[in-house]
Structure 1
């Protein structure tokens, strides 16, 4: 429980009841979900038949989609209220997900090398030690398995777009959702991954066009980006 920020847990817990409202503060997560799911699918040879853990699953938007793709799916988080929302939605939707209130580090200690695929999306920038989470993800995945991360780059452009633009001007996210000093440069994330024994296979940017209100993947990693790793 040392690698957790109580203020971050409280922040998302207060909004938990709105997690599955596609027009709420979580609208961006609903809109980017198909894009990131397709990218994950394309790089791991499909999710069907695989065992997957979604680290920092929140209310379960990605987690349920992974389960719908045919994977045996575990979702973990330390924020109790979003996890309850995820469990309730799973019951309502009939999509089977094993949700657990446990940290990545503790699950890695209990079930090392147990998963074909590990996802950790939009979570690293909310914990005190992202390197610890990345190391736990590396321990969770089987040799030959895949690990996927997404986070925010740290530079003036990301501050302008992700905080000033998204939180204060366009109101895509609640003000205070992100703290700039916690953003992670691609070089830093790559370093953490290599230290944990992972190989970095691919990186791609996630872009938002405020005129068309459409998200897409592209080469620039300047703001939001996704990373695919593998364990040799």
Structure 2
């Protein structure tokens, strides 16, 4: 791997080992399938996806990218996990998803290659897995057109998030593979807001994502103390 790439080889290996399970609704990726409609509708409600050029950074097996393409967007999904991308491409072929492409390239490399090329950029559950989140945020700002939208989702670095997202989800409920998240890499909303400001992105809306383990229900709320999303705009 290129040593200058903003990626953690251990993180890539972790997700590569699970790649074949991305589209198994009973696998470790079940939570991503369950929350995808909530995210998709939130994004589509703020920045209608029909006929837009969309970039999904850290697309993994393509759960969000595929659904955005089905909403009428022309989507490019990028990731640095070769195995996950192969799974995403295979699923797109099998499902005959229109207007969807995948590439193995970093956000920073693509930003140098195609600045100002996308109407909408999404970067979901990715920032907490890279060595330099600010670098990815800057690349997102470079990639989006003036007036375009950049959406982020990540996990708060808080005691509550540690208890729920790591202890609860990974160790007690076994909803996610153990070691999926590292507390030190989690990002406070104030930190992400700072990265956005420096990159020239204006924070327009925030949303929290909550989960009830008894009912197995997810919903969006104003509580950003664990999982949260940002809608930012390049003004």
Give the TM-score normalised by structure 2: 0.98
Structure 1: which 5+ residue stretches go unaligned? Answer: none
Counterparts of 1:56 and 1:158 in 2: how far apart (Å)? 22
What secondary structure, in the 3-state scheme, does the structure 1 residue paired with 2:214 have?
coil
What secondary structure, in the 3-state scheme, does the structure 2 residue paired with 1:88 have?
helix
TM alignment of 1:36-55, pairs within 5 A: 36-44=39-47, 46-55=48-57
Counterparts of 1:226 and 1:171 in 2: how far apart (Å)? 23
Is residue 19 of structure 2 the alignment partner of residue 5 of structure 1? Answer: no
Partner of 1:82: 84
What secondary structure, in the 3-state scheme, does the structure 2 residue paired with 1:7 have?
helix
| Cα contact 2:5–2:106 (8 A) shared by 1 | no
Residue of 97, 101, 104 corresponding to 1:95:
97
Q: Which runs of 4+ in 1 moved over 4 A?
A: none
Residue of 185, 188, 206 corresponding to 2:188:
185
Residue of 63, 66, 73 corresponding to 1:64:
66
Is residue 217 of structure 2 the alignment partner of residue 203 of structure 1? Answer: no
Counterparts of 1:221 and 1:35 in 2: how far apart (Å)? 15
Structure 2: which 5+ residue stretches go unaligned? Answer: none
**CA RMSD, 1 decimal:** 0.5
The offset of 1:13, in angstroms, is 0.2
Counterparts of 1:129 and 1:82 in 2: how far apart (Å)? 21
Counterparts of 2:219 and 2:55 in 1: how far apart (Å)? 25
Counterparts of 2:6 and 2:218 in 1: how far apart (Å)? 31
| Cα contact 2:68–2:75 (8 A) shared by 1 | yes
Residue of 31, 35, 38 corresponding to 1:35:
38
